[in-house]
Amino acid sequence: MKISSEFSKYAVSYGSNNIIQNKVAKKLLQKVVHKPKYILDLGCGSGALC
């Protein structure tokens, strides 16, 4: 079993299954007081925060 093929198999449905992750991310962003100049994106998830 190749990891890349397993990831690709489920990647298409990731966006509809990460509801809690999106809610938590939005709550965390509400707590940011100052707009940062830079944000480090670790490349994990659907990119909803972009």
| SS3 at position 12 | coil
Tokens of 25: 């991310």
- The upper half-sphere exposure of residue 46, i.e. CA atoms within 13 Å in the direction of its Cβ, equals 15
Q: Is the pLDDT of residue 50 over 70?
A: no
Residue 1 banded pLDDT, cuts 50, 70, 90: low
- Per-residue model confidence as pLDDT tens digits over 4-21: 777 788 778 877 878 888
Please state, in angstroms and as integers, the Cα–Cα distance from residue 6 to each residue in 9, 17, 23, 38, 43, following that order. Answer: 5, 16, 26, 33, 18
Mean pLDDT of 38-47: 74
% pLDDT > 70, the chain: 92
Closest CA relative to residue 39, chosen from 49, 31, 48? 49
